[in-house]
Each structure stands twice: as structure tokens, then as C-alpha cells.
Amino acid sequence: MKRLFAVCLLLLGLPICFVAPLPALAQQAGMTKEQGQEAVAALKVTVEKIGAATDPEVKIPLLKEAIRQTTALGGVLPKAQVGELLAFFHNGLGDAYSARRQEGRAENLEQAVAAYEAAAHHWTKQANPKEWAMNQNDLGTAYAKDTARNNRFILASAVRSNNSTPGGTRRPLSRGSPFLHQKL
């Protein structure tokens, strides 16, 4: 999360350092220069709060707010920068849901998977290989921990293997069955 904090501050620092294009971008987004600067400053404050938070219960609403603020800045900040910020915030949200101990574990893991998948839309293997690999690892870990999803996968695999058996005869599935490891 400290990396997220540092990268976001670095990314957010760019539009303020390069004030020249900000008025034009803000105007295109229907904002004044001052409104654009205020929106970027508000996002910086949210990012600082995220960096200071340690409890997932505190981080989750802050990360959701950062995602909302970043999306609203879509016309003010360069598109690549918005995508990078959204990816970091979604990945951080996935981390927070993975670490969350309140509410249902399966629900938290499903939320984590959804957040990691949202981050994956912005990180590509070619453009962001390290971030892409980190995200894929986090996504795989969340899938592995999600026993409810794994149970549905095993059940679907069992039904598929039964239906693909010649004559529809049933045969027992063991842990080593190749049908358990095929993609759906």
C-alpha cells in the first residue's frame, strides 16, 4: 500500500507541475481551471488518507472515493494517467477486501476478485509488465482462497465430465482427475 501511495502522489503531482495544459483540459471537461485544481487537490487528500490508513474498514471507503474522484477527473487528467490511477486504486481495493475480516469471507473475496479484475482492465502485460504480473498473482491468490467459487468450479467440472462420458455413464471424480483441472 505504501507503493500505491507513493505512485499516486507522483502521478497526481504531474498535472500541478504542468499547469499549462490543466486549464484547457478542465475547460473541455466543463470545469474551470480552479475547479480542476480543486478536484486534483481533493484526490491528493484522499490518497494521503489511504496512505495513513491501516484498517481495511477505513481503506475500503477511501479507495472507493478515490476511484469516484479519479473517474470524475477523466476529462481533466490525461487518459493514461487516469487509467494508471484507477488500476492502482482498484488493486488497493482488492488488497483491502482480501485483508478484511468483517462480514462474510466469501463476499470479501468476491469483492477482491472484482476489484483485481477491474485493475486488470488498465494494466496490460506489454505496457505494465510488473504491475500486470502483481495483479495476476493477487487475482490468482484471491481465486484460490475463494472456496465457494472453487466448489462451484468443481461441481461444474463434475457435471461436465459426467456429460462428456460416452453413454452418460457416471464415474467417480478424484482429486487427480484431469476433468477437475480443465478450464470451463
Q: Does the pLDDT at position 130 exceed 60? A: yes
**Residue of higher predicted confidence among 54 and 163:** 54
Q: Check residue 38 and give its pLDDT.
A: 87
Question: Are the C-beta atoms of 67 and 91 separated by less than 8 Å?
Answer: no
Question: Are the C-beta atoms of 132 and 125 separated by less than 8 Å?
Answer: yes
Q: Check residue 155 and give its pLDDT.
A: 57
**Range 3-14 average pLDDT:** 47
DSSP 8-class letter at 19 = T
Q: Check residue 111 and give its pLDDT.
A: 92
Q: Per residue in 160-178, is it b (16+ CB within 10 Å) or e — as a string?
A: ebeeeeeeeeeeeeeeeee
Residue 125 confidence class, pLDDT cut points 50, 70, 90: confident
Cell of 156: 461444474
Q: At 174, is the secondary structure helix, strand, or coil?
A: coil
Question: Are the C-beta atoms of 47 and 8 separated by less than 8 Å?
Answer: yes
pLDDT in tens, 45-104: 999 999 999 999 999 999 999 999 999 888 777 888 889 999 999 999 999 999 998 878
Question: Are the C-beta atoms of 132 and 123 separated by less than 8 Å?
Answer: yes
Q: Does the pLDDT at position 173 exceed 70? A: no
Round the average pLDDT of the chain to a whole number and report it: 75
Q: Does the pLDDT at position 166 exceed 80? A: no
CA atoms in the 13 A half-sphere facing the CB of 2: 0
**Range 135-139 average pLDDT:** 90
Q: What is the pTM of this model?
A: 0.68
CA atoms in the 13 A half-sphere facing the CB of 126: 0
CA distance to 15, 50, 166, per residue, from 142 (Å): 34, 22, 35
Q: Check residue 154 and give its pLDDT.
A: 56
Q: Does the pLDDT at position 129 exceed 60? A: yes
Q: Does the pLDDT at position 14 exceed 50? A: no
φ/ψ (deg, to 5) at 138: -60, -40
Residue 26 confidence class, pLDDT cut points 50, 70, 90: low
DSSP string, 92-108: HHHHHHHH--SS-HHHH
- Between CA 92 and CA 1 the distance in angstroms is 7
- Between CA 146 and CA 150 the distance in angstroms is 6
